[in-house]
Amino acid sequence: MLDVRLSDGLDEESLVAFVDRLSAAGDGGKAVDAARARITRDVRAGEPSAGVRRLALSLHTPIPPRPRSSSDEPETVLSLVPDEALIVLSGARDEELVETVAGLVRRGLRTIVTATGADLPDVVRRQLPPAVAARTVERLRPIPGTDLRRLRRLLSTSTPARRARGRQDLPPAEKLPDTEEIAGCCERAARVVEGSDGAEGSRLAELLRDLDAERREAVTQVGRYVGRTVGALNESTHAAWLRPLAARLVHNNHRAEFDGLQVLAARQREAAGQLAPGVTEEGTPPADAATALKDYRSFLETGGRSRTYFRSLAQREAQPALRAFRVNGAVPRTVEDITAVLGYLDVRDRQAEIELACGELGVPVPVQPSHLDELIDALGVAAAAARSVGALRHDVLFLQNDSPVAVPDLPTAERVAAAIVDYDEHGDPAEAGDELERLAAELEAIPSAPERTPPELTAAVEALRAHDADAYAAALDALGSARRESEDQQACEELLGRLATSTPELARAWSDGSDDGYGLLCFASVDSLLSDLPSPDSADVVVVLGAGALQADALLLTAVAPRLVGVVGDEPRAASSGTTFLEVLNQASARFLRGGLAGRDDVPAGPQPAIPVQNGAAES
């Protein structure tokens, strides 16, 4: 039996030693020497061929054959080749061999058929089906390897849609509007100011579009002013009564009462701040209390004196009012005391006026001095809102003669102001719609004829006219894919044209597309292959005819492709020395088939000396 140490591993030195021993296990010659040198160079470069690595691995770590599948179908080369790297077929009839080779090509495999003599390959060549014969090439690479691989990939992924790209006019990417630009246009075209109807917004946009820039800026400032003042009105905690009040002021209803309340509230706040403490009412003062107290204060200020007996007329008339009040618990006597009481009466009487005005305007009455600040601020908000609405009514009225837009009330003013500001910030929705239509028309005009319009471009045009930014983005992505398909199709046609210059029949067979795949077939002698090994990834499987007559050095053919099929016919057998082609394959656990029937082929019995191994001879 062959020594399991035939391969010592997969590191660089072990692979080089394995190739050296393999090339020495035969008759040798220039072809074998050339193959050994080429394989060694590839190993040293870190690029060992897949076939050599697999053979070395199988001999380094022998594994039992895969068990037969449970299927009732017999195992064949075609059924095993996807999983097995090393197969031996013996006893096959010519037609069966031809069918095997044809099947490999139909599966898209780049297949090389080789033998030591010319007769065996000719038997296969003469009986090939026409579809497979058309895929026969004289050179393994009719065009450079990278181009050939790309062509096969493009052909295998070809679809009717991609082939149709050559008859379509696809727009270049730079002619397509950016998705962000379209999204902005669609957003502007679809904008409707909250609370306004579309007709009102459209009419206002038309008016603003016709204004010069300076006039439009002035109107916009008024609109912003309304937005600020009415916004403050709406945000106020007193909005429930402020909005109705401001709405009446817009029409100048209760204007006098409103202005009077503002004055009263301001004076009351000032007087309340100056009010002396400690003044209380102990009784009901007379109706003319304020007049009597003012006269008595004047009497005292001009030198008069307060008397207990023989009181002056001013003192006697003020006496009922003085008895009704206390200042710090005592009856008022001095000028300061009387002034404090007069201030108290002034605040009290003005409070009565404020209550009356609040009742007329529907405003809550301020009960405490702190409420006055809230009232004054709230009245200021209402006044500002009314003034801004008045300014807006004036400006809108004179936008043009017989202006179709009016501002009759506060809600309308809010809508119109919002529409004016929106126009300034976002533009006219109609202009955005016109821009989208213009862009759609430009895209629609790109194809030279309607039948050359790609469906993705039609989708983009429809999305623009529907103001649908998401659909446009999807169409743009689809156009990108279509453009890549078109580039692939152009490359495929160019590569097919180059292939046709050297192998027109192969190019025609591949371009027609069929169930026969995109494989190819090449016939070459063993010596020619070993003398000039194809570069890596040039072939998928090598079929070796007359394998029974070969020595082990012919296994250097594993460098040609990652899979090897040895075909044993009625050729004279190589002398069994442990180093024949078949004996080494058996040691590598290759799958042996007989004629297309399932099962292992027996290896001739007898002594099988090993190939010499590194550091000594193997056992016999």
DSSP assignment string, 375-398: HHHHHHHHHHHHHHHHHHHHHHHT
Tell whether the model's pLDDT for residue 178 goes beyond 80.
yes
∠ CA 319-324-327, nearest 5°, is 100
Confidence of residue 605 (pLDDT cuts 50, 70, 90): very low
Indicate the burial class of 273 (C-beta count within 10 angstroms; 0-12, 13-18, 19 or more).
exposed
The pLDDT, as a whole number, for residue 613 is 32
Q: Do residues 139 and 548 lie in contact, with contact meaning Cβ atoms separated by under 8 Å?
A: no
CA 363/CA 345 separation, integer angstroms: 24
| Secondary structure (3-state) at 133 | helix
∠ CA 24-27-30, nearest 5°, is 85
Read off the pLDDT of residues 504-553 as tens digits, 9 standing for 90 and up: 888 888 887 655 678 889 999 999 999 999 887 788 999 999 999 999 89
The pLDDT, as a whole number, for residue 3 is 47
Alpha helices, H only, 194-312: 198-210, 213-235, 239-250, 255-274, 289-301
Read off the pLDDT of residues 543-571 as tens digits, 9 standing for 90 and up: 999 999 999 899 999 999 999 999 998 88
The total number of residues written for the chain in this structure: 620
If you average pLDDT over every residue of the chain, what do you get?
83
Other Cβ atoms less than 10 A from the Cβ of 364: the count is 13
Across residues 399-423, what is the average pLDDT? 77
Other Cβ atoms less than 10 A from the Cβ of 420: the count is 27
Return phi, psi of residue 408, to 5°. -80, -20
| Secondary structure (3-state) at 184 | helix
Looking at residue 238, the DSSP 8-state letter turns out to be T
* Neighbouring-strand partners of residue 543: 113, 565
Query: Tokens 């004196």 appear where?
Result: 305
Read off the pLDDT of residues 455-491 as tens digits, 9 standing for 90 and up: 999 999 999 999 999 999 999 999 999 999 999 989 9
| Secondary structure (3-state) at 568 | strand
CA 8/CA 16 separation, integer angstroms: 10
Across residues 220-245, what is the average pLDDT? 90
Read off the pLDDT of residues 30-82 as tens digits, 9 standing for 90 and up: 999 999 999 999 999 988 889 999 998 888 876 666 666 655 678 899 999 99
The pLDDT, as a whole number, for residue 250 is 87
CA 318/CA 336 separation, integer angstroms: 15
Tell whether the model's pLDDT for residue 194 goes beyond 80.
no
The pLDDT, as a whole number, for residue 77 is 92
Q: Percent of the chain beyond pLDDT 90? A: 26
Structural domains in the chain, sorted by start = 1-142+503-597 (3.40.50.300), 212-398 (no CATH)
What are the angstrom distances between the C-alpha of 65 and each of 23, 57, 69, 582, 599?
Answer: 26, 14, 12, 15, 11
What predicted TM-score, i.e. pTM, was given to this entire model?
A: 0.56
CA 519/CA 514 separation, integer angstroms: 11
The pLDDT, as a whole number, for residue 2 is 41
CA 373/CA 464 separation, integer angstroms: 56
The pLDDT, as a whole number, for residue 36 is 93
Confidence of residue 7 (pLDDT cuts 50, 70, 90): low
Element (H, E) at 114: strand 110-115
Write b or e for each residue in 206-221: b if 16 or more Cβ atoms lie within 10 A of its Cβ, otherwise e. Answer: ebbeeeeeeebeebbe
The pLDDT, as a whole number, for residue 476 is 93
The pLDDT, as a whole number, for residue 616 is 32
How remote is the C-alpha of 198 from its chain's centroid?
Answer: 33
Across residues 408-435, what is the average pLDDT? 80
The pLDDT, as a whole number, for residue 563 is 94
Return phi, psi of residue 578, to 5°. 85, -5
∠ CA 591-596-601, nearest 5°, is 40
The pLDDT, as a whole number, for residue 614 is 30
Across residues 84-110, what is the average pLDDT? 92
Looking at residue 5, the DSSP 8-state letter turns out to be G
